[in-house]
């Protein structure tokens, strides 16, 4: 069986017991185990109580050693899964793609663990700024903004110097933090002390940005990130049009960006409030809890209307342990 895949258990009639990745976390039962001969041609539905889709504990304990039996009994059987299906474990939807396979390989070969820490990225997507600003900050933190150093590393033929100064090292840190022109802009916006502290206490541009987003107030984060875009615009104008602006103009452009965005959102916010009064809405709270001791998953659902009045609630238990994502998905289902 190919690496990176496992079985999603429906009826169990098409999944052989041996050498197939159907156990929890994609493990297999090897054909080399003692007694494997007796289950060689059997599928896993022979280990199940088909009337309620549960494991037949008595049979499993009789056939397998204690450690393998425990692994089987801790493999979840979900009633909503109706057919046996091979899924790819690297994606939640279970479908294989070359793009995502490449991403998985890069993740395993390169230390990019910070990309998967949700608290690192939440500060970007919660910013109260135009989407183009969030997109720029995201590209900066991913290391995919096309600075000249980045382009040269990708074998793109281009000049090596930075358009805004005499530096021959146009990387992310220089463009936004080290360049004398950028420093002038930060001084004009009274953010230079915060910038200095961030870059002196972190080891990369990405870490410095995340540190700033975590520590600064909302309105200051707005200024910070719109200045990023304004500095990048200034760089691009110098590269493509040989046009330049003063540091005061770059800072003012960032300030106007925030003001214009706030004015745009105000009528939309008022429309949203009015529509809430016209339409009844419901809120569904759901959660999942797990007991490894009893090998059970419990889900709970509670629904309220827009006035906060209780509407409906329900709890369901499953005789297995699943992941948090699967447990919450079951409660939504």
**Residue among 144, 139, 136 at smallest CA distance from 224:** 136
pLDDT band with cut points at 50, 70 and 90 for residue 176: very high
Mean pLDDT of 91-97: 53
* H-run or E-run covering 297: strand 296-305
Specify the range with the lowest mean pLDDT, choosing from 34-48, 107-121, 229-243, 280-294: 107-121
Does 277 score more than 60 pLDDT? no
**Phi, psi angles (nearest 5°) of residue 21:** -85, 75
Predicted confidence band of residue 249 (pLDDT cuts 50, 70, 90): very high
Q: What are phi and psi of 57, to 5 degrees?
A: -60, -40
Q: What is the DSSP letter of 26?
A: G
Long-range (24+ apart) CB contacts under 8 A made by 243-246 are none
pLDDT of the residue at 68: 92
Q: Kindly tell me if the per-residue pLDDT of 149 is higher than 60.
A: yes
User: Tokens 């309105």, residue?
Assistant: 219
Task: Mention every residue, 6+ apart, whose C-beta is less than 8 A from residue 233.
Answer: 250, 253
Token pair belonging to 275? 């529509």
Looking at the chain, the whole-number percentage of residues with pLDDT higher than 90 is: 38
d(CA 331, CA 326) in angstroms, rounded, equals 9
Average pLDDT over residues 313-320: 86
Question: What integer pLDDT is reported at residue 174 of this predicted model?
Answer: 92
């Amino acid at each position: 069986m190919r690496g990176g895949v496992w079985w999603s258990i429906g009826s169990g009639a098409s999944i052989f017991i041996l050498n197939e990745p159907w156990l929890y976390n994609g493990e297999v039962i090897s054909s080399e185990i003692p007694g494997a001969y007796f289950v060689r041609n059997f599928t896993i539905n022979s280990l199940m109580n088909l009337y309620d889709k549960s494991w037949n504990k008595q049979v499993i304990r009789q056939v397998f050693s204690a450690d393998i039996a425990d692994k089987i009994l801790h493999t979840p059987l979900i009633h909503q899964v109706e057919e046996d299906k091979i899924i790819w474990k690297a994606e939640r939807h279970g479908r294989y793609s070359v793009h995502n396979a490449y991403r998985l390989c890069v993740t395993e070969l390169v230390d990019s663990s910070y990309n998967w820490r949700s608290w690192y990225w939440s500060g970007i997507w919660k910013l109260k700024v135009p989407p183009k600003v969030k997109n720029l900050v995201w590209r900066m933190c991913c290391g995919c903004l096309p600075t000249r150093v980045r382009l040269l590393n990708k074998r793109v033929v281009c000049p090596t110097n930075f358009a805004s100064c005499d530096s021959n090292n146009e990387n992310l840190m220089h463009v936004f933090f080290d360049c004398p022109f950028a420093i002038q802009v930060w001084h004009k916006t009274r953010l230079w002390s915060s910038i200095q502290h961030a870059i002196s206490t972190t080891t990369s541009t990405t870490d410095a940005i995340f540190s700033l987003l975590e520590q600064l107030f909302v309105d200051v984060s707005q200024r910070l990130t719109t200045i990023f875009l304004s500095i990048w615009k200034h760089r691009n104008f110098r590269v493509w049009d040989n046009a330049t602006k003063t540091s005061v103009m770059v800072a003012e452009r960032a300030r106007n960006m925030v003001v214009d965005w706030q004015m745009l959102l105000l009528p939309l916010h008022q429309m949203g409030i009015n529509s809430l009064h016209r339409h009844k809405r419901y809120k569904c709270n759901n959660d999942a809890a797990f007991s490894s001791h009893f090998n059970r998953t419990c889900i709970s659902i509670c629904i309220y209307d827009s006035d906060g009045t209780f509407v409906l609630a329900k709890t369901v238990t499953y005789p297995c342990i699943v992941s948090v994502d699967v447990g919450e998905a079951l409660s939504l289902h």
